[in-house]
Structure 1
Amino acid sequence: MIKANNINKFYGDLQVLKNVSLQINKGEIVSIVGPSGAGKTTLLQILGTLDVLDKKENKASSLEINSTSIINLKDTELSKFRNLNLGFIFQFHQLLPEFTALENVCIPAFIANKSKKEVEIEAIKLLDYLGLSHRINHKPTELSGGEQQRVAVARALINKPAVIFADEPSGNLDHTTAENLHQLFFKLRDELGQTFVIVTHNEELANMADRKLVMIDGVLQS
């Protein structure tokens, strides 16, 4: 599903990622942990195509997701690939406050030029699956933190992506709500087959994963 080799990233003279290589299988849930500043989020952003790796230090660098080589895709090709194949869940849900839960969930599919009617039907199904059928017309400010994050999960799922990238997804939630969200990830993997890559400081979530990777000073350790 994901094959990354010799991933490097510099910010000026600071090397944040140092020849990172990893492989993640379809349907696997992988957690990435480590101290702040270790490079976890940078790695997640590169794997998720939100940032680019530095090839100048190692011409053998490569990134393949769902059998597609990412490095040489043009911007328009990359945007389309990201929209259709990848989903994202962040610590702060990043829902658009002027739109309802239903409208927020639909946005990625509308960007993909899918039928409005079909998209809304699928979004309603997802929100119902996530226990939010009674909240579809509510705006984010009218939802609890856990409800907001579940709407963000539905938005990440609307295009049926192969991979879900999550960056501290429960970092802004209370313990009970966070635990429910963690269980949801495994339910989604088991029932819908998604692959999850999760950066987290939550040891409980990290230890639940099929595999836990530790990043220290830009180097990934198993």
Structure 2
Amino acid sequence: MIKATNIRKTFGSLEVLKGVDVSIEKGEIISIVGASGAGKTTLLQILGTLDKPDKTEGLALQINNTETSKLSDKELAKFRNEHIGFIFQFHQLLPEFTALENVCIPAFIKNTSKAEAEKRAKELLEFLGLSHRINHKPNELSGGEQQRVAVARALINNPSIVFADEPSGNLDSESADRLHNLFFELRAQFGQTFVIVTHNEDLANMADRKLTMVDGNIVD
């Protein structure tokens, strides 16, 4: 599913990632933990193709048997839209659009018809317990509801992999627990692979595997 070799990233003189190797199987739920500044988010963004690693000897980043480091920016954007979903700490919903419209946006980018996109979005929102909130805008939703809309948006194109960066960091403990359990329900229902950066020890320990980062390297 994901095979990354010699992932390095520097910003000026600061070496953030120091040759990370990681392999993730289809259907796994992986947590990535470590102190602030260890390189977790940078690694997540590179694995998710939102950022590019340094060009170094031995570099490889295969996702679904595609060597993404060799794709053009246009090819990469298309690949990301079709294969990858993202959930962030802050929901990043567009305030002027309803829950339904927010969920549909990635499908519209993929040129999915309006009817098909809305049908899929309604199915996801119903699965997530939000069928009664589809016409509400983000400021009319609770924090937990906003994040579940963001989850639906991440799933709208049936991605193989979902990357989540501190997905429960902005939620109260009850909403966080619901979201954590939701990831496992989604894996069981849709078969997605999840890669989750988190400071939440409960979520980290629920994962199939927990990877710890220290100073730009994975140490276990």
TM-score (norm 1): 0.99
Stretch deviating more after TM superposition (163-172 or 58-67) = 58-67
Corresponding residue for residue 75 of structure 1: 73
**Using the alignment, how far apart are the partners of 1:12 and 1:220 within structure 2?**
22
Whole-Å Cα distance in 2 between the matches of residues 137 and 107 of structure 1?
15
Separation (CA, whole Å) in 1 of partners of 2:123 and 2:30? 27
**Structure 1 equivalent of residue 210 of structure 2:** 212
Percent identical:
71
Is structure 2 residue 106 aligned with structure 1 residue 92?
no
Q: 2:64 aligns with which of 66, 90, 93?
A: 66
For the residues of structure 2 that align with 1:159 and 1:199, how far apart are their CA atoms? 22
Match of 1:22 in 2: 22
How much does 1:59 deviate? 1.2
Aligned to 1:46: 46
Aligned residue pairs, count: 220
Deviation (angstroms), 1:190: 1.1
**Which of 125, 128, 133 in structure 2 is aligned with 1:135?**
133
Q: Which amino acid aligns with 1:199?
A: V
Q: Helix, strand or coil for the counterpart of 1:213? A: strand
Q: Give the gaps of 5 or more residues in structure 1.
A: none
- C-alpha separation between the residues in 2 aligned to 1:189 and 1:127? 16
SS at match of 2:159: coil
Runs of 4+ in 1 over 3 A off after TM superposition: none
- CA deviations 1:56-105 (Å, max 9, x no partner) are xx311110001110001011100000000000000000000000000000
Equivalent AA in structure 2 for residue 189 of structure 1: R
1:16 Cα deviation from its structure 2 partner: 0.1
- Measured in 1, the distance between the counterparts of 2:30 and 2:64 equals 16
State yes or no: 1:169 paired with 2:167.
yes
**CA displacement 1:1-34 (0-9 Å, x = unmatched):** 0000000000001000001000000000000000
CA RMSD of aligned residues (A): 0.4
- Distance in 1 between residues matched to 2:106 and 2:52, nearest whole Å: 22
For 1:107 and 1:73, locate their aligned partners in 2 and report how far apart those are by CA, in whole Å: 24
- Equivalent-residue separation in structure 2 for 1:186 and 1:155 (angstroms): 17
Measured after TM superposition, the shift of residue 191 of structure 1 is: 1.2
Q: Distance in 1 between matches of 2:191 and 2:219?
A: 26
Q: State the secondary structure of the residue aligned to 1:9.
A: strand
Map of 1:153 onto structure 2: 151
- Give me the whole-angstrom Cα distance separating, in 1, the residues matched to 2:51 and 2:100: 29
Summarize the alignment of residues 162-201 of structure 1 with structure 2, pairs less than 5 Å apart. Answer: 162-201=160-199
Q: Take 1:219 and 1:180, find their aligned partners in 2: how far apart are those partners?
A: 31
- Establish whether residue 37 from structure 1 lines up as the match of residue 37 from structure 2: yes
TM (norm. structure 2) is 0.99
Q: Distance in 1 between matches of 2:118 and 2:65?
A: 30
Q: Give CA-to-partner distance per residue, 1:134-159, whole Å, 9 cap, x none.
A: 00000000000000000000000000
